[in-house]
Amino acid sequence: MAHDLLILAGDGIGPEVMGEVKKVVGWFNANGMDFAVEEDLVGGCAYDAHGQAVSDATMDKALKADAVLLGAVGGPKWDKVPYEVRPEAGLLRLRKDLELFANLRPAKCFDALADFSSLKRELVEGLDILIVRELTGGVYFGEPKEIRDLGNGQKRAIDTQVYDTYEIDRIASVAFELARVRDNRVCSMEKRNVMRSGVLWHDVVEEVHKARYSDVQLNHMLADAGGMQLVRRPKQFDVIVTDNLFGDMLSDVAAMLTGSLGMLPSASLGAPDAATGRRKALYEPVHGSAPDIAGKGLANPIACILSFAMALRYSFEAGEAADRLERAVEQVLAQGVRTADLIGPEGGAPASTVQMGDAIVAALEGNA
């Protein structure tokens, strides 16, 4: 049966990088896989078309699809659009309505780009970390959340960190399952020394591990110490699981160990469907719509292409296809093909978005 893939290219460089992903999907379709691709609007382009950043009809398609692949949304053109219908609202609605509670952010160092890292080459060569961030709970959503007027010239700002057992259980389960198809190691990060939610987090992760995943190696780290270890000796980690706030920061830190924003993919997963076992999933590059380079053919399509590789791995049980695609990217980089964002001060002529995509398809074909 065909895999249903909903492509929402979005705004700015979104359609440019997605154009290259479509070539890659086409290659897999010509080589034994079966993706039925549907395309629709999200973000500013959707607002222009029908006044909403994501329409109900698009949401229906997203809910039915086996996976959603998103480019990027937003741009200066929509800066004055009302808050509820701004382009980013489309992204938030997708995440919320699909209940995507697990955000996966890999930090993988491609050998050819090791000198782009802020750390020494030997610290990042071969680096391959996956940060699993809880995305729908914690301090960004907990109540009360307000600024209170205390009436004495003072105000009090309140944010509340809230986690229930089931939220920690399901994110820990995702982390353990992912570890099983990687290096089988999970490090859980919280601050149980100063936060009650950290105590529950630690204890639930322990219980889930004991009950269902005792074959996976587990250790715990306080999140601040974990941050230090990430920049001191990053290769000690395989899968890191942490809450929404710590995950937001730690995943950005880890990402910068490996180079350009144009290289970073992500996945957001929901709960497994009761009937099929398949998780709702949204795959997207970490970068935005890059209005400064949009329309110029300069964007690096690799972040979006690697997001599709994640879809192959996590939505379509096609780990070998994902490996093959990642190897093609690695090979093209090793050959010295570089979009402008991957060119250091030493210079060199940049490849265009289309040239980079073509080189990756050629490498897939094995005749690069």
Instruction: Let me know if 341 is a catalytic residue.
Output: no
Q: Which residues does 132 contact at the CB level (< 8 Å), separation at least 6?
A: 102, 103, 104, 171, 174, 175, 178, 239, 240, 241, 242, 247
Instruction: Let me know if 47 is a catalytic residue.
Output: no
- For tokens 């909903």, the residue is 6
| Least distance between ligand NAI and beta carbon 353 (Å) | 8
Q: Write the Ramachandran bin of 167: left for phi over 0, alpha for psi from -120 to 50, otherwise beta.
A: alpha
| Catalytic entry in 40, 238, 248, 341 | 248
Instruction: Let me know if 169 is a catalytic residue.
Output: no
Give me 267's structure tokens: 């996945």
Number of residues that bind ligand NAI (CB under 6 A): 22
Q: Is 106 annotated as a binding residue?
A: no
Angle between helix 223-232 and helix 244-256 axes, rounded to 10 deg: 10
Contact partner, 261, from Mg ion, ligand NAI, none, Cβ < 5-8 Å per class: ligand NAI
Instruction: Rank residues 248 and 326 by Cβ distance to Mg ion and give the closer one.
Output: 248
Please give the C-alpha separations between residue 261 and each of 103, 107, 157, 165, 302, in angstroms, as whole numbers.
17, 11, 33, 34, 10
Indicate which single residue of 105, 287, 313, 338 sits in contact with ligand NAI (rule: CB under 6 A): 287
Footprint of Mg ion on 100-159 (CB under 5 A): none
Q: Is 296 annotated as a binding residue?
A: yes
Indicate which single residue of 190, 248, 284, 326 sits in contact with Mg ion (rule: CB under 5 A): 248
| Nearest residue to the partner ligand NAI, using Cβ | 288
284 binds Mg ion per the rule CB under 5 A: no
Footprint of ligand NAI on 82-111 (CB under 6 A): 88, 91
The Cα 297–Cα 157 span in angstroms is 45
What distance, in Å, lies between the first and last C-alpha atoms of the chain? 31
Instruction: Rank residues 238 and 248 by Cβ distance to Mg ion and give the closer one.
Output: 248
Contact partner, 248, from ligand NAI, Mg ion, none, Cβ < 5-8 Å per class: Mg ion
| Catalytic entry in 4, 97, 159, 252 | 252
Q: Is 170 annotated as a binding residue?
A: no
The Cα 360–Cα 366 span in angstroms is 10
Q: Is 27 annotated as a binding residue?
A: no
Biggest distance spanned by C-alpha atoms of the chain: 74
The Cα 178–Cα 106 span in angstroms is 12
| Least distance between ligand NAI and beta carbon 42 (Å) | 9
Give the residue numbers annotated as catalytic, written as ranges. 140, 191, 224, 248, 252
Residues forming the site for ligand NAI (CB under 6 A):
13, 17, 72-75, 88, 91, 261-262, 284, 287-293, 299-300, 303, 341
Residue positions forming the annotated binding site for NAD(+): 75-88, 288-300
